[in-house]
């Protein structure tokens, strides 16, 4: 009988875990039982934590904290930040999910049309006093309705908010003649960028919400590509891409500094395996220590395949990559290959299997959204802060309401091959 290599055995185990509930009950018996999260999965930023920093780091963080608190005091309608040691349940921020009306697939001529200009007017109206935008705004609604919706909104980077508004304004401003560009658009764009600059932590990371909201919202947030969208936009300003060529030299210089800080944070937060090899990233990190931290109640500390694919693609988009950037991308690509799940596909129907991995011999590889740190075993979370190795054990609400499998690393691996040849 042919001997199996260790890697072969591991892939068989991963396949068995992924197929739990779809194949035999014998496989199900081999799956470890659920386990709770560790205590205090996330500690928000506080002035007491900042006071304990070395004196060489303390001043920059105190300045950041004071600016955040000052802005929060101005925004009087804002809920008080929750800085308890355990993150709050999924409360602040509220709103819809994804913004409506911001097109990025139109012909260049469309961005100078009356329709695009009207949407840009609504975007400027919807900007919060802090300079940000709320998620889930509907820019196809009448302007007065947009104004009312934005009146008590919380600015955020989650679900494409703020960065997509800035991108849309840039496209419209660059598409019209200088005389036709509304001063309100320019003012809104510049205020939005000042908000982006102010929100960046001294170590280069970005919280999900600024001014700081407490709880897991303070974490350096790669979750749902929040920070990646920010530094991608900074990159475009530096490279004068995607309609940002009108930005002033002062803005471009500031964006260059912020981009470099962001890249350094990305490199510092990349994980390593037991052998010391670079792998991928978690969804969130402690803002001060940059150690992996939990996010929402169903998002435990884990190796995150979807977010890591976006980070790898971003790093590959940078010009003249340093040896550190090349090593980071190489490590991520190796991890993607190692953790790919073969002969499975993501079910889309019927309702009782939608979102699960089901057997499909010969199908392209897929990945679990989360992998257990240290073992690279697929894991799944639930709202009661339990970690499961079997998606069938997770509540129906969370199975239906979250993408537990992804194909995102396949796109990163495809780009990686081209990138390596270009190097």
List 78, 122, 159, 258, catalytic entry: 159
Q: What is the CA radius of gyration of the chain?
A: 22
What the block records as the tokens of 111 is: 């961005």
Contact 220, 205 (CB under 8 A): yes
Contact 371, 382 (CB under 8 A): no
The DSSP bridge partners found for residue 304 are 370
Interatomic CA distance for residues 102 and 361, integer angstroms = 39
Residue 335 CA: distances (Å) to CA of 34, 109, 146, 271, 295: 25, 42, 44, 11, 22
**Helix H or strand E encompassing 386:** strand 386-388
Question: Nearest CA to 15 among 366, 279, 372?
Answer: 366
Q: Is 296 a catalytic residue?
A: yes
What the block records as the tokens of 59 is: 């001043």
List 83, 167, 258, 296, catalytic entry: 296
Residue 409's φ and ψ, nearest 5 degrees, are -60, -25
Alpha-carbon dihedral sign for residues 56, 205, 174, 136: negative
Interatomic CA distance for residues 235 and 314, integer angstroms = 9
Interatomic CA distance for residues 321 and 336, integer angstroms = 20
Active site residues: 159, 296
């Amino acid at each position: 009988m042919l001997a199996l290599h260790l890697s072969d055995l591991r892939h068989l185990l991963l396949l068995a875990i992924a197929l739990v509930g779809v194949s035999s009950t014998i496989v199900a018996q081999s799956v470890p039982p659920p386990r709770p999260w560790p205590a205090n999965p996330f500690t928000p930023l506080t002035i007491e934590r900042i006071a304990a920093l070395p004196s060489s780091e303390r001043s920059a963080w105190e300045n950041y904290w004071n600016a955040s608190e000052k802005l929060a005091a101005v925004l009087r309608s804002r809920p008080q930040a929750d800085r308890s040691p355990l993150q709050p349940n999924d409360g602040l921020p509220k709103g819809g999910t994804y913004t409506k009306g911001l097109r990025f697939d139109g012909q260049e001529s469309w961005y100078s049309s009356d329709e695009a200009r009207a949407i840009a007017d609504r975007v400027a109206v919807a900007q919060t006093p802090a300079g940000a935008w709320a998620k889930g705004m509907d820019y196809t609604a009448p302007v007065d309705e947009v104004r009312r919706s934005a009146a008590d909104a919380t600015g955020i980077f989650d679900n494409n908010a703020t960065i997509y508004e800035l991108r849309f304004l840039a496209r419209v401003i660059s598409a019209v003649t200088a005389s036709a560009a509304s001063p309100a658009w320019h003012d809104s764009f510049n205020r939005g960028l000042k908000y982006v600059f102010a929100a960046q932590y001294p170590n280069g990371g970005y919280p999900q919400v600024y001014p700081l909201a407490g709880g897991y919202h303070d974490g350096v947030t790669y979750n749902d590509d929040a920070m990646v969208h920010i530094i991608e936009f900074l990159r475009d300003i530096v490279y004068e891409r995607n309609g940002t060529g009108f930005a002033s030299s002062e803005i471009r210089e500031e964006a260059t500094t912020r981009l470099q800080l962001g890249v350094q944070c990305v490199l510092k937060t990349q994980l390593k395996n037991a052998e010391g090899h670079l792998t991928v990233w978690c969804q969130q990190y402690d803002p001060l220590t940059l150690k992996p931290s939990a996010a929402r109640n169903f998002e435990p500390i884990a190796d995150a395949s979807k977010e890591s694919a976006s980070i790898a693609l971003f790093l590959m988009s940078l010009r003249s990559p340093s040896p550190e950037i090349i090593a980071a991308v190489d490590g991520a690509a190796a991890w993607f290959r190692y953790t790919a799940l073969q002969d499975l596909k993501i079910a889309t129907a019927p309702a009782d299997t939608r979102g699960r991995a089901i057997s499909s011999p010969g199908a392209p590889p897929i990945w679990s959204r989360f992998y257990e740190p240290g073992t690279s075993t697929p894991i799944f979370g639930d709202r009661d802060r339990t970690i499961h190795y079997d998606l069938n054990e997770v509540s129906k609400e969370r199975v239906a309401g979250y993408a537990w499998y992804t194909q995102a690393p396949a796109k990163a691996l495809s780009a990686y091959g081209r990138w390596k040849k270009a190097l």
